[in-house]
Amino acid sequence: MRLFSLLLIASISVLAYAALSGTLAIHYVATGSMEPSIPVGSLVVAVKDAYFAQGDIVVYSMGDAKLMHRVAEVRREGLLVTADAQPRYWEIVDWERVHGKVVAALPILGYLYLGAAAIPLAVLALSILLLLIPTDGGVPSLFWVSALSVIAMSAIGDTGLTTLGRPLAALMASAVAVSCRILETRAEEKTRLTPQLCYVLLAAACLTSISRQAILRGVGL
C-alpha cells in the first residue's frame, strides 16, 4: 500500500514537471501528410530536443496550427522539411517555430484521445459513488476538491498540465483522482493522510493550469 502511495505521488510530480517544463507534448494526427509512416488518427509524443538530424519527424507551428513533417536537411537558419505523402512539398522552418521531435507514434489511439475530453464528467459521476464508500477515522476527504479541480481544468484550462493536450491531461488527472480515492478507502488510519496529500497536489496542478485570462473568459468578461 505504501508503494502504491509513493507511485501516485511520483506520477503527479512527473506529470506536472513534464507539462510545466514543456519537455513533453502530445499531438493528434488529423491529416494524412505523413502516411504511411504515421496514419491519420495516431497519437504522437514529441519532446524538446536541441539536436535534429535528417529523417527526424518534427512538430512545428504555422500560425495557430501545429504541423508535423520530416526533416530533409538541417540548415543554419532552420529545418528544411517535407511530407512523406507529398514529396513535392518543401518548406523552411525557422528554429523559433520548431516545438520538438516526435519520439513515438501510436496508431488509432488519437481517436480515443479526442474522446477523453468526456472523462471529467465520468469522474464526477463516479465520485458520487466513491464518496458513498465509508472510510474509518476522522480525516475529512479532499476527493471532491481534486475532482472539481480536474473538471475545471478540463473545461477552461489553457496552460500548465493542459500543454500536454487538454484531453490527455484530463484523462491522466482523473485516473490519479480515482486511484487516490480507492487508496483512501483501503488505507489504514496512519496512512490515510497520504491520499489527502495526493488530492492537494493534484488540485494544485489542475488549478495552476487555468490562467487568469481563461477564468475571465469563462465568466464572460
Rounded Cα distance, 86 and 34, in Å: 8
Residue 116's pLDDT band (cuts 50, 70, 90)? low
Evaluate whether the domain defined by 43-106 bears CATH number 2.40.50.1040.
no
DSSP 87: E
Distance of CA 151 to the CA centre of its chain: 14
Rounded Cα distance, 151 and 125, in Å: 11
Q: Which pTM value belongs to this model?
A: 0.53
Q: 132-149, pLDDT tens digit by residue?
A: 555 555 556 788 788 888
Yes or no: say if 43 and 28 are a contact pair by the CB < 8 Å rule.
yes
Q: 164-181, pLDDT tens digit by residue?
A: 777 777 878 888 888 888
Rounded Cα distance, 176 and 125, in Å: 16
Residue 74 has pLDDT above 80, yes or no: yes
Q: 12-28, pLDDT tens digit by residue?
A: 565 555 555 557 777 87
- Residue 110's φ and ψ, nearest 5 degrees, are -60, -35
Provide the angle, in degrees to the nearest 10, between the axes of the packed helices 193-207 and 166-186: 160
pLDDT at 57: 93
Residue 218 has pLDDT above 50, yes or no: no
pLDDT at 220: 41
Contacts of 64 (CB under 8 A, 6+ apart): none
Per domain, the residue ranges of the chain are: 2-22+110-218, 43-106
pLDDT at 56: 93
Yes or no: say if 98 and 60 are a contact pair by the CB < 8 Å rule.
yes
